[in-house]
Structure 1
């Protein structure tokens, strides 16, 4: 017969699986909604530009994104339709959220039954550190990719805007291309400064490294855990990880605050 601790570990496995399915279902829904928006915009833009008079190379530059949106949205919707037709295994996010809520409620009742057993819950917490590290690293990598993309847009766009502006002196048709490039550079710079993707990535990676260091020290019995009983070392590990997570939450709150309030 399975013990309460074994049931808790199995329930954590189920919760992690459901959370992964929920992320996948939400990502697919966002992709499909994006395709539904891009498809009509691309179609209307392509039709209007095709019917408009030829005004040189600028027309081709403006026309390319609409064709990309048109074919990209069409291919995405067709691929999604074939995927659902063949497998029919992609649930709606609402269904996964319902299963997740039920399992979390069951976990709450299970933990209530273990109210007098602090040590099993601490070991379960230690077991979940791997998933916590993966979440922190994934978030850091995502923000780092966004920041690198925006910074590349600023660098390449600034050089391109200078070149296009110089060429537009000889060819007025390139003037709108220069305006669009300058707008993209300003947009990327504004998003970078407002959302602070670089700082978010740095703090998440810093917290992940600190949590991993504490976990490794506990596993190897070194550092602050050297020579201490396992139960006492486990308590100190839980306290330190919680302190690191609290600091991470404070950093996120400071980043989200307006600059004048954060300075005050």
Structure 2
């Protein structure tokens, strides 16, 4: 087994590769956090200046010869104080170097560190690649999670499609009901406009995103993969060859072909109708 092969440092290949993955995941999270920190440090002063400029402009344009209402003035003052306090706290945390992990480190440096970590991971995996039989067996063990992912996405699109359809049904029925109930149309005109807008948007969204077709394709792919996985476990056709290696190779090839077909169907759904006909 690959996890039992020792490397030069006394550990295992599997542990070494897992550690690389953990380091990469940690760097990705640090990059996200650092981007939020930088956005806060530079965005908060910009919002503060914008708030002050909006307040001054409102005073000049609307209340040049009169007093600004206390409610409006309080909104501008409180917003400015909150933004000023937030800006001060963020700059303190940045330059104190005690709270934020990557204080003083640019996002570019973290991106470079992530790129180097990914390159080291690739080189390490390439130099310690297990035999193809072990890789194929590991691939088979990862398939249950892939099936779960496909079915979760299928349920998501199916629920989205049902929600859109119910909204479409209710809005379409409400248009007729409101039209028949109110005569003259006021004050129902605004209701009719909103309902008509909802019907138009939902119809366009269903036609563009095609959640029902996406749910069907995902569920079909998950069922096909599960069917082949069951056939492999039971040793029935087409995985009844005497050589286990041959069965593993055929199984991995078949599943990858199904996943490629699924990606192609997703791409076809993302294209306009004319582009889909050309692809087909």
Note whether the superposition's TM-score is higher than 0.5: yes
Matches of 1:11 and 1:223 in 2, distance apart?
A: 39
Secondary structure, aligned partner of 1:169 = coil
Q: 1:198 to 1:250 in 2, by over 3 A?
A: same
Q: Distance in 2 between matches of 1:12 and 1:242?
A: 26
Pairing of 1:1-12 with structure 2 (within 5 A): 2-5=11-14, 7-8=16-17, 10=18
How many Å apart are 1:18 and its aligned residue?
5.0
Q: Which runs of 4+ in 1 moved over 6 A?
A: 97-103
Q: Which residue in the other structure is 1:38 paired with?
A: none
- Secondary structure of 1:134's aligned partner: helix
Long gaps (5+) in structure 1: 30-87, 89-93
Match of 2:192 among 178, 189, 197: 178
Residue 142 of structure 1 and its aligned partner are, at CA, apart by 1.4
> Which residue is 2:177 aligned to?
163
Q: What is the match of residue 132 of structure 2?
A: 118
User: Bigger radius of gyration, 1 or 2?
Assistant: 2
CA distance in 2, matches of 1:143, 1:12: 34
C-alpha displacement at 1:229, in angstroms?
2.3
Shift, 1:172, TM fit: 1.4
Task: Answer yes or no: is the 8 Å Cα contact 1:140–1:201 preserved in 2.
Answer: yes
Equivalent in 204, 214, 238 of residue 224 of structure 1: 238
**Which residue of 1 is the match for residue 252 of structure 2?**
238
C-alpha contact 1:11 1:103 (8 A) present in aligned 2: no
SS at match of 1:225: coil
Structure 1 equivalent of residue 154 of structure 2: 140
Matched, 1:204 2:209: no
Q: How do 1:1-264 residues align onto structure 2 when only pairs under 5 Å count?
A: 2-5=11-14, 7-8=16-17, 10=18, 18=25, 104-115=118-129, 117-170=131-184, 172-264=186-278
Change in Cα spacing, 1:198 to 1:180, as seen in structure 2 (3 Å) is same
Cα 1:210/1:18, change in 2 over 3 Å: farther
Q: What do the CA deviations read for 1:17-54 (whole angstroms, capped 9, x no partner)? A: 959x97xx99xx9xxxxxxxxxxxxxxxxxxxxxxxxx
Higher helix share: 1
1-structure distance, mates of 2:160, 2:121: 36
* RMSD after superposition: 3.5
d(CA) in 2 for partners of 1:128, 1:14: 18
CA distance in structure 2 between the aligned counterparts of 1:155 and 1:236, rounded to whole angstroms = 47
Distance 2:185 2:230 in 1: 63
**Offset of 1:247 from its aligned partner?**
0.6
Partner-residue secondary structure (3-state), 1:149: helix
Distance 1:119 1:105, change over 3 A: farther
Cα deviation, residue 178, structure 1: 1.3
Q: TM-score, normalised by structure 2?
A: 0.59
Distance 1:197 1:5 in 2: 39
CA shift, 1:124, in A, is: 2.2
